[in-house]
């Protein structure tokens, strides 16, 4: 299938986004980095005050499944920010997209631009 991305959209409870972003930066992001998850981009969504996004890259659907199972079943996640993420999120939506099969020209370049922008923050 080639590389693909997963886009996670968090619809947060009103007024929690700033604290969610702090929690992500201080606890969740360092944790997913330790678990070798390839985070392309993340941050507050621009379209409203109660949304947040996370884009992750995987080599295959099976890699994604194995990575997520290991991470979400870990004591580090369960005893770490899990409860706060669940408490502040009304809805978490996921979409997976293969840029190798996409008709979108320049999609890979766009994703690398997103990654660079997040790295600057």
| pLDDT score for 69 | 93
Name the one residue in this structure whose structure tokens are 């979409």.
Answer: 95
Residues of the chain with pLDDT under 70: 1-2, 97-121
How is residue 113 annotated by DSSP?
A: H
Instruction: Tell whether pTM > 0.85.
Output: no
Query: What are the DSSP calls for 46-110, one per residue?
Result: SS-TTEEEEEEEES-HHHHHHHHHHHHTSHHHHTTTHHHHHHHEEEEEEEEEESSS---TTHHHH
Q: State residue 2's pLDDT score.
A: 60
The pLDDT of residue 101 = 54
Residue ranges per domain, the chain? 4-116
Fold designation for 4-116 = Alpha-Beta Plaits (3.30.70)
């Amino acid at each position: 299938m080639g590389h693909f991305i997963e886009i996670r959209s968090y619809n947060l409870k009103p007024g929690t986004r700033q604290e969610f972003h702090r929690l992500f930066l201080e606890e969740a992001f360092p944790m997913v980095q330790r678990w070798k998850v390839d985070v392309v981009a993340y941050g507050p969504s621009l379209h409203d005050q109660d949304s947040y996004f996370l884009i992750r890259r995987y080599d295959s659907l099976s890699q994604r499944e194995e990575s997520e199972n290991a991470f979400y079943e870990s004591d580090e996640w369960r005893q770490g920010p899990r409860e706060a993420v669940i408490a502040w999120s009304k809805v978490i939506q996921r979409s997976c997209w293969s840029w190798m099969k996409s008709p979108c020209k320049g999609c890979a370049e766009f994703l690398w631009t997103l990654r660079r922008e997040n790295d600057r923050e």
